Structure 1
Amino acid sequence: MPKIDMTRGSTLRKLTIVGVASITALSLAACAQSQRDPGNQGGKTGGTLTFGAEGKPKLFDPFYATDGATFRISRQVFEGLVGFKPGSAEAGPELATKWESSTDGKSWTFTLKQGVKFHDGTDFNAEAACFNFNRWYNQKGAGQSSSVSEYWVDNFGGFADGAKPSLFKSCTVKDAQNIVVELTGASSKFPDVLGLPSFSMQSPTAMQKYNADNVVAQGESFIFPEYAMKQPTGTGPFKFVNYDTTNNLIELGRFDGYHGDKAKLDKLNFKVIADETARKQALQSGDIDGYDYPAPADWAKLKTDGFQVVPRDAFNVMYLGITQKNNAKLQDFRVRKAISMAINREQLVKSQLPETATVATQFMPKIVQGYNPNVKPIEYSPEKAKALLAEAGASNLEVNFWWPSEVTRPYMPNPQDIFGAIAADLRNVGIKLNVVTKPWNGGYLTEIDQAKADLFLLGWTGDQSAAANWIGTFFGNAENRFYTKSSPWGEDLAKRLDAADVTADKAQREKLYQELNRQIVEEYLPAVPLSHSPPAFVLKKDVKNLTPSPLTAEEFSPVTKG
């Protein structure tokens, strides 16, 4: 699934449906205290906080979003039936106070929180909830594109036209406070998937008024309606006010009609400053109150200067993607192996990432079920890399190497420097590089997903602690950004990932994923796992109560300043 760091980065993933013998009824008691409130209130209320963001949001309708910059705004403006507890990846109640399933896992009854209103005054109730489900399911035309409704395609599959199978079947209003969601099969991802920003509840009134579904394809890009660009309407503690594109400033205001603990700030602004050095300078000059993804080399000095440097737990992976579609030499395992052995990953982590970052042995962190502790680490050996290239007849290998500009990602704090380090290693073994750089939301993600690059830098911040959300996201469709369809094992890998996800027995499923992790790194290498990195944010000393999230899903409503 995207988190979609997604930047989350977008991918296609096959629909996976898990069959289970039985599912015990799940009923979560409503929390007396808002899930948004970590219980650490203090400092003054009111005022404006301006936070330095690393990238421009693509739009403001989270259903059509794939990028972390959009999701950051979404988490302040919108809420879902399910949420994630502050500071963790654990799902819990949000707009639904409890839920329970049938024994076959196909029918889910959600009890909704009462007294909730959208920012435009529309009541949130059972009809509004089903309106959202039906809106997702009934996308047409460009709205069905995996580049537009990616998180739906990744997690639910097809749409109401029946062209492709869908996990979703129907949403029925049981009464004003309860809905029944019917699935075509049980899924290990449901209902936690409803905590992702893409599946936030949005005002039916506003979506109809501003033609929310009117997405138009224009070549390989899309034009989004007024709702997505100017009128996002949720139930969250902050409401959307304005996007000043001239000054790259997204303005939010406190929603005084919020159903839970009101936001402490009067206003919350996100100032887009793509360059990390410029973000640091803006903090030092007092133009902003905090910013995301400080350069690891700056952490110590920032602390000395009196700022708070707050690290998150590393719940991500950075990798060097290898696309096999256009360059036939990259279809040879020996060439991909040579590329992996040419990279000094230990030095890369030591020189470019925070001191607690680690070299990745596979495409998921240790805490995800299915991680294989016995995967053999990739050896750094320029000599062996050169020998493999010669053996494969690729001593004069030439590749297009893409890296993203105008962005900083949790797993990739400085793309240009990371690119430079890897490029030097590849050139050292005789590989010729044709360098391509494009803005993150200005062509990079779209064209990477179209498998146009030979080599590219990307990564993932997990949405959930499930292997299907990691290697299932990356390789669960052979026509992915790596175009594993070009390898004889590509289709088989996708099928086996599906098979692992539908395995009901937890221990057996873990063994299947462990073996898949081993094979992906030791036998296939569709990409090179590089690192797991603990991203941080920086705050002025007087900013309090911003709880770090491993999902980079911080919520600003409890924050005080002064």
Structure 2
Amino acid sequence: MTKRLAITLTMVLVLALALVANGFAARNPREIIIGMAQEPDTLNNMLSDMSATSQAVGGLTDDLLERDGNWKLFPQMATQIPTIENGLWKVLPGDKMQVTWQLKKGLRWRDGREITAEDFEFTWKVIMNDDLGVPSREVSEMIEKFEIKDKYTFVLHFKQLYHLANLGLDYNPIPKHIFEPIVKSGAKAFAEADFTKVVFENGPYMVKEWVRGSHLVTVANPRYNGTEKAKVQTVIFRFIPNTNTLMANLLAGAVDMLTPVGLTLDQGLALDKMIRDQKRGTDYGVQFTTALTWEHIDFNLDNPWLKDKRVRQALVYAIDRQAMVDALFEGKQFVSHSYLPPKHYGYNPNVKQYEYSPAKAAELLAAAGWKKGADGIMENTKGEKMILTIHTTAGNAVREKVEMIIKDQWKKIGIELKIENVASTVLFGEISPKRAYEHMTMYAWTSPPTTNPYGLWDSSQIPTAENAYAGQNRPGWRNAKSDELSRAILKELDEKKRIALFHEHQALWSEELPSIPLYFRVDVSATHKNLQNVKPTGNTTPITWNVQNWSWAN
């Protein structure tokens, strides 16, 4: 343990004891308090790609299908999973497909209105509305017709082959009777709809109160008749952006658990050691769950310096990523060489790997026209100094350490790094989705086990003002071969051929480097030992996927 971390933990313990002295440790068996370091930018998950949003919304909304803690799909609102074998998924002549969905009867929105096929049709139309700025419509844009057979049955007509056609739409359904007038009022009304007042819940919990900057209170939905009714009446999310303060609240008993959007790995390791050494926090257990969360740095490929792939490659060669993960994560996390994790079925283990080499970095920069000036900073033939700016989430201790490591290592080869961190709501609400950054942003996304490159790297997925900033290709990578491969992957139903396409795309990506691959994370969570049935997933399925089953041991 470093001296700096030891001092920090001492301060955390002092704060924890102060919280206990002030009476925060009392526990109500009818409620669960969840601590998170980030606050959702919105509860409208059609307009958010924050993990904090998915955690908060996890108990508020159901979907056609869901994945459990073992990544296995199960029907949630649907009666069964469509397959070719059961006849609900049909491949047609001309490379078209039909997928039939059958809804469980009697499912209801929070206001008691029954959920029908019309709600799903309306949701599809909202996703496809160019004016609303929905971040991703990878699946929905492949659907050429939405056919309602009856109140509980609808058919999705795909205009092309798609290997994941039986997973549903891009987003959970929203109620037509509530949102139709809102959508008619325009994009601003849709974006600013007050989700503490409008009905959108169809899950085991519903919103009672949201105090921005403080907490979100959800309570059991009395009209829920989906999988199982909630066992605990109230679930409260407390938003504490400073991760050290967050851990102090856990040690003091002010929160019952910390989600993966709450506990950094170094703090998880330290807390785990405290518990094992019987020093503090013995009422809690720390979970390290192998995850599909990719920490990376996006380049802005419209920047004239960063358009040159030799510069991008040099920047990666100049980071000792292995030493970084060894120093920060005690072997719990590993360097990434692709945007896909090794557990993904299409992962290519033979992609180009950028081992630490300052000499190779300098060689590439020289070839790109950069040399050290009198002050030791790289400059080009125009006399421009290579001073790069990076943004990430302010207050995230691990990311701030990563930035300092990169700053020190890049300085050795003559590159100056300016760190300008911002609140998570600013990073994910403005800077990253609108590509409003000059050089780089650092953040993470969690991939589903079925991730493909189309929504992430296809040139059609670059967010712009013209498409209302829809799309996930935030670096702005434009590569014809990448587009060809990503689109072929979507259509290839033969898994062996699809894997070969995945491998080829990753080889191209690792050569071009639209982003800096840093590492794949483990999800770290901490839970009170008497809180039962909490099952972290390690993927895009939030830890709250089964929150209605959580309960306190007697």
Question: Alpha carbons of 1:300 and 1:339: their partners in 2 closer, same or farther (altered >3 Å)?
Answer: closer
Kindly state the Cα deviation for residue 71 of structure 1 after the two structures are TM-superposed: 1.6
Deviation per residue, 1:377-400 (Å, 9 max, x gap): 211012222232223221315143
CA contact (8 A) 1:232 1:240 kept: no
Counterpart CA distance in 1 for 2:323 and 2:58 is 36
Alignment of 1:519 with 2:516, yes or no, is no
Deviation at residue 63 of structure 1 after TM alignment:
2.1
CA distance in 2, matches of 1:300, 1:460: 22
Determine the structure 1 residue equivalent to 2:50.
Answer: 67
Instruction: Name the structure 2 match of 1:353.
Output: 329
Contact 1:360 1:529 in 2 (8 A): yes
Aligned with 1:102: secondary structure? strand
Aligned with 1:174: secondary structure? strand
Q: C-alpha distance in 2, partners of 1:540/1:46?
A: 12
Secondary structure of the equivalent of 1:352? helix
The one-letter amino acid paired with 1:483 is: G
Q: CA deviation at 1:60?
A: 1.4
Tell me which of 424, 427, 430 is aligned to 1:440: 424
Q: State whether residues 60 and 203 of structure 2, in contact with CA within 8 Å, keep that contact through their aligned partners in structure 1.
A: yes
1:20-71 deviations in Å (ceiling 9; x for gaps): xxxxxxxxxxxxxxxxxxxxxxxx9951111011211111122222222112
* 5+ long unaligned stretches in structure 1: 1-43, 157-165
Distance (Å, rounded) in 1 between the aligned partners of 2:166 and 2:233: 33
Partner residue of 1:8? none
Q: Aligned in 2, Cα 1:496/1:132: closer, same or farther, shift over 3 Å? A: closer
2:551 pairs with 1:560:
yes
Alpha-carbon contact 1:167-1:184 (below 8 Å) kept: yes
What TM-score, normalized by structure 2, do the two folds share?
0.80
On the 8 A contact 1:357/1:534 being kept in 2, the answer is: yes
Answer with 1 or 2: which has the greater Rg.
2
C-alpha deviation, 1:308, in angstroms: 0.9
SS of corresponding position for 2:231:
coil
How much has 1:275 moved relative to structure 2? 1.4
1:111-190 alignment to 2 at 5 Å? 111-137=102-128, 139=129, 141=131, 143=132, 145=133, 149-152=134-137, 154-156=138-140, 166-190=141-165
Q: Distance in 2 between matches of 1:463 and 1:288?
A: 28
Alpha-carbon distance between aligned partners in 2 of 1:223 and 1:179, rounded to the nearest angstrom: 25
- Counterpart of 1:483 in structure 2 is 476
Superposition pairs of residues 28-39 of structure 1, within 5 angstroms? none
Further displaced range: 198-207 or 424-433: 198-207
Matched, 1:542 2:530: yes
Q: Could you say which structure has the greater relative contact order, defined with CA pairs below 8 angstroms and 6 or more residues apart?
A: 1
How far apart, in 2, do the equivalents of 1:394 and 1:385 lie?
A: 11
Q: Which amino acid aligns with 2:204?
A: P
Structure-2 residue corresponding to 1:207: 179
Deviation at 1:440, TM superposition (A): 2.2
Letter in structure 2 aligned against 1:279: L
Structure 2 residue 39 is matched with structure 1 residue 56: yes
Q: Which residue of 2 aligns with 1:392?
A: 368
Could you say which residue in structure 2 is the equivalent of 1:298?
267
Q: 1:69 to 1:401 in 2, by over 3 A?
A: same
> Number of residue pairs matched?
480
Q: Which residue does the alignment assign to 1:427?
A: 411
Identity of aligned residues (%): 19
Number of the residue aligned with 2:15: none
TM-score (norm. length: structure 1)? 0.79
Whole-angstrom CA distance in 2 between matches of 1:263 and 1:333? 52
Give the Cα separation in 2 of the matches to 1:373 and 1:541: 38
In the TM superposition, what are the counterparts of 1:88-107 in structure 2 within 5 Å? 88-98=70-80, 99=82, 100-104=88-92, 106-107=97-98
Q: CA deviation at 1:288?
A: 1.0
Amino acid at match of 2:286: V
Unaligned runs of 5+ in 2: 1-26, 83-87, 276-280, 372-377, 380-385, 463-472
Equivalent of residue 343 in structure 1, options 319, 333, 348? 319
Distance 1:191 1:407 in 2: 40
Residues 287-345 of structure 1: CA deviation (Å, up to 9, x unaligned): 1111134232333442313121112222122222222212x232223222211111010
CA distance in structure 2 between the partners assigned to 1:227 and 1:402 by the alignment: 33
Range with bigger deviation, 441-450 or 364-373: 441-450
Per-residue CA distance 1:107-154 (angstroms, 9 max, x = gap)? 2211111121111100123333333334434x353x1x3xxx1122x3
Aligned-residue offset at 1:269 = 0.7
Aligned partner of 1:531 in structure 2 is 519
Is 1:456 paired with 2:441?
Answer: yes
Measure how far apart 1:419 and its partner are.
Answer: 1.4
The whole-number CA distance in structure 2 between the counterparts of 1:89 and 1:548 is 10
Which amino acid is the alignment partner of residue 406 of structure 2? I
RMSD (CA atoms): 2.5
Q: What is the CA-CA distance between 1:449 and the residue it aligns to?
A: 3.7
Q: 1:113 to 1:265 in 2, by over 3 A?
A: same
What is the alpha-carbon distance in structure 1 between the residues aligned to residue 70 and residue 151 of structure 2?
A: 31
Partner SS state of residue 127, structure 1: helix
